[in-house]
Amino acid sequence: MDVVSNSQRYQAADANSLGVVNGREIRSDEFEQYKAAIYANSTGNDYQVRAQVWNYFVEDAIVREQAEPLGLGVSKEELKELQFGTALSPIITDRFRGSNGMVDMNSLGQIKSAIESGQLAEEQYKEFRTRWMFQEKEIQKQRIQDKMMNLVVKGLYAPNWLAEAVFAENNQRIDFLYVRIPYDKVADSDIKVTDEDYAQYLKENPRLYDQLEETRVVSYLNFEVSATSADSMVSYDRLMKLLPGLKGKDDSLFVVNNDGIYDVNYRSKEELPANFASTILATPNDSVVGPYLDGGAYTIAKVLAKKVLPDSVKARHILLQGATPENQLKIDSLKKEIESGRAAFDAVARAVSQDPGSGSKGGDLGYFTNGMMVPEFNNVCFNTGEQGKLYTVATQFGWHLIEITGKKFINNQASVRLATISEAIRPSAATQQSAKDKALELVQSVKNLTELESKVASENKSLELSQALKASDFNVGLLGAGKDARDIVKWAFDADTDAGDVSKQVFAIVDPNGGYYDARYVVVALRSISPKGAATVATLKANPQVEVEIKARKKADVIKSKLQGTSDLAAAAAAFQVTVDTSFGATFLQTALPKGGPEPRVIGAAFATAKGAVSKPIAGKTGVYMVQMASGLPEVNLPPDMTMFRRQAVSVAQSYVRSGLMPAMKKAAEMTDNRHLFF
């Protein structure tokens, strides 16, 4: 959307305002600057990145507003310690972690020196200065947020009665029998849901479905795009034309030029395509096999070499952390010293190896199986290395000097090294257009959602439902996340789109695996609009989750009526052709039953039932239950010292605060979100 249309929709408001949180404006230019600086190298979905950036700005606005009256802040010395000291911010430790898994203190030291000397003031470091400035703000925000959290969690206290309750909930165990009658024992046609049912549900749950912002639900039908046999033959023929080149002497260059794989590793039979593994292993070296079908693609393979790989290898190594040129020179020097006999491998490993696990053992790693080590290290040990010789290799951990000291051959199975070229089977443009035409035909044959539902039902199909969509969402139901899904959300929230409308546009969803073709076409209709504010019968009727819950209530009433007068579990089970099950050693904290899933209401009812007694029917989440207490409620013998259980109660409360404080503050914030006007 361009600036002109933004201005029109703002009606003379500031077109640069992405949103407002508790009176603090989030400006589009700063938002984009932060995104470019901090997420410049991100390979993730751009909409997901934008959601993360938005979340940061929202939290920052909330934290800073709360911090001011509390007098919370971050001093210059504290900030310096968080950036360069011994108590580094998690943001620093995440972004400056070296290939060895440790924080790169050398890089941080260089940055600190450059800042103090004024070197970063030079124009060439402008981009770095911007990134560091935003990072400082992140560190300050996180530090203040941690201080706020500590104010709350350190104020929590557990009295004795709570510690005693925690002990009882953990240690009182009961056995009980139960019968579960699933709700699907009652057909939808046997119940009728009315407005009065929704009104009663709203009365019992008056705030549960209040809308913090407007949401919309769409119904949609997928038209999958599947490659035809003709499309398959095109891929096959294209690959057949590459056979002569793969048979040639310059096979490695040919493979690379045709996006193939010239493998340096040997593959066992289990690692080869199951239907073609025996053929590949029986093929002589320098011969080509295929095309064969392998996971949605045709493949041709040239057998480069075969060998029997050891089942496990014993090796020792010397590690210099960091794959730097300096460490390469050092490791080469150590190799020469050991090969000349002037130094012993184990002594050098103990003296200089930076692997804390093996260095003290002379570098010995013991025996390990194929694939346990990082690829470069593994390749030397299993594919190219000979026992008794020394090899140098760089990995993500640094430079290694490796010696293979033992090999075990148990299965003696041959493995093979291959050069492969694959051609994915893709639907042609004509195949894609055929699927799109079917979707367009459906769109043109209906005027509204009611007609769409009728038409789809007549073809023995059914519409999918999205989740409750928000204006800035970028994922829709099972369609995934990204630009294509975002286009559907934009249509759903367009000012001219009303409930019941069917989009005249057929939406294309590209192949999620990077195939550069349309994998499906989607016909979309707007099912419902739930405006911001208190829930009403109308908004509840538009909510699929509420519909499911009310139907469950109605079915529970039907089942309960059939169980009226039944006080025997076996009789109840026989009436509905289900079984009597047992829950052993259940605690009050338990939420799930062995059969039935999460049912806290049922477990609570079991604890309230006398030994031998049978409960009345209980409407659970997945069905109606009857329980019979088998063991009785045991006495609780409290320990003399309740300190541990008091701490446990506090710990549980603290975990709830840590996970729930920020979401609660977001929910309470006054927020205007204009993202949907920008992207």
pLDDT, tens only, 374-430: 989 998 999 889 999 999 999 988 899 999 999 999 988 889 999 999 999 999 999
Q: Are residues 556 and 594 in the same domain?
A: yes
Q: In terms of C-beta density within 10 A (0-12 exposed, 13-18 middle, 19 or more buried), how is residue 557 classed?
A: middle
Q: Give the β-pairing of 364-369 and 390-395.
A: unpaired
Give the chain's end-to-end CA distance (angstroms, integer): 7
Q: Are residues 14 and 130 in the same domain?
A: yes
Report the CATH number that the domain containing residue 9 is assigned in CATH: 1.10.4030
Q: Are residues 106 and 71 in the same domain?
A: yes
Q: How far is CA 57 from CA 30, 66, 249, 486, 620, in A?
A: 10, 14, 58, 21, 41
d(CA 283, CA 304): 10
- Cβ neighbours of residue 606 closer than 8 Å, sequence gap 6 or more: 174, 176, 178, 583, 586, 615, 627, 629
- The confidence score (pLDDT) of residue 595 equals 83
- The confidence score (pLDDT) of residue 14 equals 67
Q: Are residues 146 and 21 in the same domain?
A: yes
Total domain count, the chain: 5
Q: Are residues 300 and 331 in the same domain?
A: no
- Is the peptide bond preceding residue 617 cis, with omega within 30 degrees of 0? no
Does residue 574 fall inside a structural domain?
yes
Domain boundary among 408, 437, 462: 408
The amino acid occupying position 90 is P
Name residue, tokens 């035409």: 437
Name residue, tokens 């062995």: 594
Q: Are residues 588 and 467 in the same domain?
A: no
Q: Are residues 591 and 517 in the same domain?
A: no
- The confidence score (pLDDT) of residue 100 equals 59
Report the CATH number that the domain containing residue 327 is assigned in CATH: 3.10.50.40
Specify the DSSP class assigned to residue 621: S
Does residue 421 fall inside a structural domain?
no
Does residue 395 fall inside a structural domain?
yes
DSSP per-residue letters across 217-275: EEEEEEEE----HHHHHHHHHHHHTTHHHHHSS-HHHHHHHTT-EE--S-B-GGGS-TT
Report the CATH number that the domain containing residue 486 is assigned in CATH: 3.10.50
Q: Whole-number mean pLDDT of the chain?
A: 91
Q: How far is CA 316 from CA 350, 375, 383, 521, in A?
A: 11, 16, 16, 56
The token duo for 651 is: 């710990």
Does residue 167 fall inside a structural domain?
no
pLDDT, tens only, 180-193: 999 999 999 999 99
- The confidence score (pLDDT) of residue 146 equals 95
Does residue 588 fall inside a structural domain?
yes
Q: How far is CA 549 from CA 276, 467, 469, 545, in A?
A: 51, 16, 20, 6
Cβ atoms of 103 and 92 within 8 Å: the answer is yes
- The confidence score (pLDDT) of residue 633 equals 87
pLDDT means over runs of 10, the chain (679 residues): 39 73 94 93 86 96 93 94 92 81 82 87 86 95 95 93 90 94 95 95 92 93 95 94 87 88 86 89 91 90 91 94 86 94 94 90 93 90 92 92 94 90 94 97 96 96 94 93 95 96 96 89 95 92 90 96 93 95 91 87 94 95 95 89 90 93 94 91
Q: Are residues 261 and 371 in the same domain?
A: no
Does residue 543 fall inside a structural domain?
no
Name residue, tokens 């993730």: 44
DSSP per-residue letters across 324-380: -HHHHHHHHHHHHHHHTTSS-HHHHHHHH---TTTGGGTTEEEEEETTSS-HHHHHI
- The confidence score (pLDDT) of residue 99 equals 60
- The confidence score (pLDDT) of residue 7 equals 39
- The confidence score (pLDDT) of residue 325 equals 83
Q: Are residues 7 and 146 in the same domain?
A: yes
> CA 104, 46, 427: angle at the middle one, nearest 5?
120
d(CA 538, CA 114): 63
Q: Are residues 481 and 582 in the same domain?
A: no
d(CA 29, CA 39): 15
- The confidence score (pLDDT) of residue 11 equals 42
d(CA 218, CA 468): 8
pLDDT, tens only, 510-552: 998 888 899 999 999 999 999 999 999 998 988 888 999 999 9
Domain boundary among 408, 439, 470: 408
Q: Are residues 25 and 140 in the same domain?
A: yes
The token duo for 115 is: 């800042």
> CA 658, 663, 666: angle at the middle one, nearest 5?
135
Q: Are residues 124 and 71 in the same domain?
A: yes
d(CA 412, CA 269): 12
- The confidence score (pLDDT) of residue 494 equals 96
Cross-sheet strand order for the sheet of 297-308: 261-262, 414-424, 297-308, 288-293
pTM of the model: 0.76
Does residue 486 fall inside a structural domain?
yes
Does residue 40 fall inside a structural domain?
yes
Burial string for 309-328 (b: 16+ CB within 10 Å, else e) reads: bbbbbbbbbbbbbbbeeebb
Q: Which domain holds residue 373?
A: 312-408
CA of residue 170 relative to chain centroid, distance: 32
